[in-house]
A and B are shown apart, each in its own frame.
Chain A
Amino acid sequence: QKEVEQNSGPLSVPEGAIASLNCTYSDRGSQSFFWYRQYSGKSPELIMSIYSNGDKEDGRFTAQLNKASQYVSLLIRDSQPSDSATYLCAVNPNRDDKIIFGKGTRLHILP
């Protein structure tokens, strides 16, 4: 089992709809969780971090964490064409300061 798993996509979502991106992780003791956006040819850009169970909202973005299910998700409301990118889930396992990334989900917002 990979440490951080994401569906590679592509995930196609109509403009204005909600995009839902999912991630599972294997280390039950993980404490810190991050979502990065990566445009083609660019480096990853941090968009959300979440540390406790529940929802965390920032503008059109909502991160959701369920430690019991070892599941973290990112919702993007009112999706815009500029949201088309690869979204990387990253997890900080409890055992050390290593930050492990999933392969990323390609999101395509349809105009």
Chain B
Amino acid sequence: EAGVVQSPRYKIIEKKQPVAFWCNPISGHNTLYWYRQNLGQGPELLIRYENEEAVDDSQLPKDRFSAERLKGVDSTLKIQPAELGDSAVYLCASRQGPNTGELFFGEGSRLTVL
């Protein structure tokens, strides 16, 4: 069974440019998470989806970050415009359902903003 798939793996952009990350969760996993991980830190939740509904986006910087999960499967996380401090690894993870099962991560998208 395929795991969580993310792309791109690496992205280097200049500040003020836009960037987008894509995630395809494990088949049948209704809950999808986007985390951001800075060097030497644990993952920090940005947004959580139950199917197509964003149920927790309290940590998402809404002035520049947006996310969507159309049809409750794939998800896209966008940053526009990017700032130097956005350099991090963006991790997508999925879970079978609310409070159900274990959380599995994709390989992550490493963003460098110059």
B98:A97 contact, CB within 8 angstroms: yes
Interface size on A, residues (CB 8 A): 23
Q: In the assembly, what is the distance between CA of A46 and CA of B44, in Å?
A: 16
Q: In the assembly, what is the distance between CA of A87 and CA of B45, in Å?
A: 18
A109: min CB distance to chain B, Å: 20
Residues of A within 8 A of B99 (CB): 31-32, 92, 97
Q: Which of B50-78 contact A (CB under 8 A)?
A: 50, 55-56
Chain A residue with the shortest CB-CB distance to B108: A43
Q: Does B43 contact A (CB under 8 A)?
A: yes
B42:A96 contact, CB within 8 angstroms: no
Q: Does A55 contact B (CB under 8 A)?
A: no
Q: Does A107 contact B (CB under 8 A)?
A: no
**B42, B43, B89 pick with most chain A CB within 10 angstroms:** B42
| Known interface pairs A97-B48, A97-B98, A98-B48; A103-B103 also in contact (CB < 8 Å) | no
B105:A98 contact, CB within 8 angstroms: no
Residues of B within 8 A of A25 (CB): none
Residues of A within 8 A of B91 (CB): 43-44
Residues of B within 8 A of A34 (CB): 102-103
Q: Does A42 contact B (CB under 8 A)?
A: yes
B40:A103 contact, CB within 8 angstroms: yes
Q: Does B107 contact A (CB under 8 A)?
A: yes
Q: In the assembly, what is the distance between CA of A102 and CA of B56, in Å?
A: 19
Residues of B within 8 A of A102 (CB): 42
Chain B residue with the shortest CB-CB distance to A101: B42
Q: Does B31 contact A (CB under 8 A)?
A: yes
Q: Does B106 contact A (CB under 8 A)?
A: yes
Residues of A within 8 A of B104 (CB): 46
B2: min CB distance to chain A, Å: 15
- With A49-B102, A98-B56, A101-B43 given, can you name 14 additional A-B contacts, CB distance below 8 Å? A43-B106, A43-B107, A43-B108, A44-B91, A46-B104, A96-B55, A96-B56, A97-B56, A97-B95, A97-B99, A98-B48, A99-B33, A99-B45, A101-B35
List residues of A whose CB falls within 8 A of some B CB.
4, 8, 31-32, 34, 42-46, 49, 88, 90, 92, 96-104
